[in-house]
Amino acid sequence: MGSSRFLDSAIAACDRALRSVFAPARATRPAPLPLGESAPLSDAERRASAALMRVNHAGELAAQALYHGQALVARSEATQRMLLAAARSESDHLAWCETRLRELAARPSLLNPLWYAGSFIIGAAAALGGDRASLGFVVETERQVEGHLNEHLGRLPASDARSRAILEAMRAEEIAHGASAAAAGGTPLPAPARGLMRCMARVMTGTAFWV
């Protein structure tokens, strides 16, 4: 990557970071709606849904940051475009989760700047190994996100059809991101790297559930 191109990319990355962390999330698509009407939630159900959606909001912010970090040091413009397109999809997910949090009278994680900064650094570090390694990181990230969303779908109150519709749409798109990265030549990550990613994800999700 030439110095002028890298400088332009770095400036754009700073702009994306500020918008992601401090500006209200804006969706380019309407949030998914349940097929039927959602039943009213009890206070306990509302709190349970809010905690789960706060974790998902933090996770989508972290996913954006991973893609932004990877895009900054991508070797090819094609890979950079793929990563930024995936980040825009994650931006929709972020907005959907943010809207749902407001509907549940809840707030996002107070540690969102930390989640973004840490994830950006991890994404950039993953991409230093080259585009194939970076795409392999995407494949593994999305595989773990799929498992995380499956767990949350099992924990959501049965009456919260609104949150369920959002998470199901997010899951389908995360699976598509992983498949696209694999098709583009992503190489499998070694087992220690996969384990480290799981440990870091548990720290974030466990903390964001409460804070």
Task: Give residue limits of the domains in the chain.
Answer: 44-208
Mean pLDDT confidence for 174-197: 90
> pTM value?
0.89
What 8-state DSSP symbol labels residue 76?
S
Tokens, residue 198: 């799981």
- Kindly indicate the confidence band of residue 23, based on its pLDDT and cuts at 50, 70 and 90: confident
In the predicted model, is pLDDT for residue 178 greater than 70? yes
Contact 86, 186 (CB under 8 A): no
**129: phi > 0 → left, psi -120 to 50 → alpha, else beta; which?**
alpha
Note the CATH architecture for domain 44-208: Up-down Bundle (1.20)
Q: What is the pLDDT of residue 200?
A: 85
- Supply the pLDDT for residue 18: 75
Tokens 């039927």 locate to: 36
For range 180-185, the mean pLDDT: 93
Most confident segment among 1-10, 98-107, 200-209:
98-107
Query: Rg of the chain's alpha carbons, rounded to an integer?
Result: 17
pLDDT above 70: percentage of residues in the chain: 95
pLDDT at position 5 = 65
As a whole number of angstroms, the distance between CA 149 and CA 82 comes to: 23
CB 34 within 8 A of CB 165: yes
User: What proportions of the chain, in percent to the nearest 5, are helix, strand and coil?
Assistant: 75, 0, 25
pLDDT digits (tens, 9 = 90+) for 30-43: 999 887 677 789 99
Is pLDDT larger for residue 197 or for residue 116? 116
Contacts within 8 Å (CB) and 24+ apart, 154-160: 155/48, 155/52, 156/48, 156/49, 156/52, 157/41, 157/45, 157/48, 157/49, 159/38, 159/39, 159/40, 159/41, 159/45, 160/38, 160/41, 160/45, 160/49
Indicate whether 208 pLDDT > 70. Answer: yes
| Per-residue pLDDT tens over the stretch 60-99 | 999 999 999 999 999 999 999 999 988 888 899 999 999 9
